[in-house]
């Protein structure tokens, strides 16, 4: 039992270091404290089976590779694309899908004879929609500190969308952008509450 615990501890440590993650980074991904990660890596305790599955998925390994004292077989060239690259491709494809939906909406609105002043708004609405998709996927797979940049872009794009949506009706409500100033200050202060990245342990 002790041997199995040490194997799991070593594997978690090796996989974390290979991904250039700190214990705090790994803890954030798993919704645990960095103290829990430290205990796992010192073999003082072992994560339960559901957490082991999360760890295996996060690092792109099988449960067998995670709990057994043997190295995985050398991956084929097709398998050498890292998880972060795959996740980046998924984010890119998701954003392109948002653009495709906006283009589809533009074409349909144009074909049914909607005024051109309104058709182009489908592309405007695609911007905050894309920011929401990016925010969700970044929260799942990437550094959550980047969320503050994405939230800032989302806030300003929503304000711009409201502004541009009302222009065809003859309403120039440029004052709406003033709302972004306290909003941006709140986001900056909120980002200051995040724990700073520690040196790799």
- Is residue 56 domain-shared with residue 94, that is, in the same domain? no
pLDDT in tens, the chain (201 residues): 457 788 888 889 888 898 888 989 888 889 888 898 989 988 888 888 888 888 988 888 888 888 876 554 455 555 445 677 888 899 999 999 999 999 999 999 999 988 877 888 999 999 999 999 999 998 888 877 889 999 999 999 999 999 998 887 877 788 899 999 999 999 999 887 765 554 444
- Is residue 58 domain-shared with residue 88, that is, in the same domain? no
Structural domains of the chain, count: 2
- Is residue 95 domain-shared with residue 17, that is, in the same domain? no
- Is residue 94 domain-shared with residue 184, that is, in the same domain? yes
- Is residue 93 domain-shared with residue 186, that is, in the same domain? yes
What are the tens digits of pLDDT across the range 66-93? 887 655 445 555 544 567 788 889 999 9
Task: Say which residues have a Cβ less than 8 Å from residue 156's Cβ, sequence separation at least 6.
Answer: 180
Domain boundary among 72, 104, 120: 72
What are the tens digits of pLDDT across the range 167-176? 878 777 888 9
CA distances from 8 to 34, 41, 83, 195, 201 (A): 17, 8, 21, 27, 17
- What range defines the domain where residue 40 resides? 2-72
- Is residue 123 domain-shared with residue 184, that is, in the same domain? yes
Domain boundary among 72, 95, 126: 72
The first and second tokens of residue 144, run together, are 């959550």
CATH classification of the domain holding 10 = 1.10.260.40
The answer to whether the CB of 103 falls within 8 A of the CB of 120 is no
- Is residue 96 domain-shared with residue 146, that is, in the same domain? yes
pTM value?
0.56
- Is residue 14 domain-shared with residue 92, that is, in the same domain? no
Q: Exposed e or buried b for every residue in 126-151, given b needs 16+ CB within 10 A?
A: bbbbbbebbbebbeebbeeeebeebb
- Is residue 107 domain-shared with residue 40, that is, in the same domain? no
- Is residue 181 domain-shared with residue 118, that is, in the same domain? yes
Report the pLDDT value the prediction gives residue 191, as an integer from 0 to 100: 81
Report the pLDDT value the prediction gives residue 192, as an integer from 0 to 100: 79
- Is residue 31 domain-shared with residue 55, that is, in the same domain? yes
- Domain annotation covers residue 144: yes
Report the pLDDT value the prediction gives residue 74, as an integer from 0 to 100: 52
- Domain annotation covers residue 197: no
Cβ-in-10-Å burial (0-12, 13-18, 19+) of 55 comes to buried
Task: Say which residues have a Cβ less than 8 Å from residue 5's Cβ, sequence separation at least 6.
Answer: 43, 45, 46
Domain boundary among 45, 72, 99: 72
């Amino acid at each position: 039992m002790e041997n199995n615990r040490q194997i799991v501890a070593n594997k978690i440590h090796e996989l974390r270091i290979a991904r250039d993650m700190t214990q705090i980074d790994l803890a954030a991904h798993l919704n645990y404290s960095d103290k829990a990660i430290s205990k796992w890596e010192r073999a003082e305790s072992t994560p339960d089976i559901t957490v082991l599955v999360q760890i295996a998925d996060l690092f792109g390994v099988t449960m067998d590779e995670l709990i057994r004292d043997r190295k995985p077989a050398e991956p084929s060239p097709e398998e050498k694309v890292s998880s972060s690259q795959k996740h980046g491709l998924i984010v890119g494809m998701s954003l392109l899908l948002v653009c495709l939906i906006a283009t589809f909406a533009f074409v349909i609105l144009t074909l049914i004879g909607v005024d051109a002043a309104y058709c182009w708004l489908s592309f405007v609405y695609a911007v905050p929609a894309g920011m929401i998709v990016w925010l969700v996927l970044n929260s799942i797979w990437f550094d959550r500190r980047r969320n503050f940049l994405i939230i800032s872009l989302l806030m300003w794009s929503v304000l711009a969308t409201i502004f541009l949506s009302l222009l065809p009706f003859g309403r120039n409500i440029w004052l709406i952008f003033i709302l972004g100033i306290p909003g941006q200050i709140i986001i900056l202060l909120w980002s200051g509450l995040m724990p700073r990245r520690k040196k790799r342990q």
